[in-house]
Amino acid sequence: MQDAWSSREAWVYECLCCETTWDEVLEVRHFGDGHGNEAVIYERGGQPCTTPWTDCLCPKCQSRNVKAWAATRKAGELPPVRSGSDVAMVFHLRRIHAW
């Protein structure tokens, strides 16, 4: 049986040519095969895309000299509430050897 779950990741980009900065939120789909292996698919606007840190293009100057990093939460911002119980999440993480 294949485990699947999704999450959202925010990424910040900075063009090293024109110093433009922007951010994007990507939907990340995780698939576990039940043997501890995991595949990850990134989606932008519902369409599969490359990983956020590769093949970036500046929207202003079209340069590929772009730096990307995962955004961190702002102080006081709470993460979204997960459905299900925390106990179920712990067992799931243990099953995929993530905790």
Q: How confident is the model at residue 1 (pLDDT cuts 50, 70, 90)?
A: very low
Mention every residue, 6+ apart, whose C-beta is less than 8 A from residue 16.
Answer: 63, 65, 66, 67
Q: How confident is the model at residue 97 (pLDDT cuts 50, 70, 90)?
A: confident
Backbone torsions φ then ψ of 86, nearest 5 degrees: -65, -30
What pLDDT is stored for residue 37 in this prediction? Answer: 81
Mean pLDDT of the region 20-27: 90
Mean pLDDT of the region 36-47: 86
Mention every residue, 6+ apart, whose C-beta is less than 8 A from residue 65.
Answer: 15, 16, 17, 58
Mean pLDDT of the region 73-95: 65
pTM beyond 0.85: the answer is no
What pLDDT is stored for residue 61 in this prediction? Answer: 93
* Residue 11 to residues 68, 72, 93, Cα–Cα distance (Å): 7, 9, 24
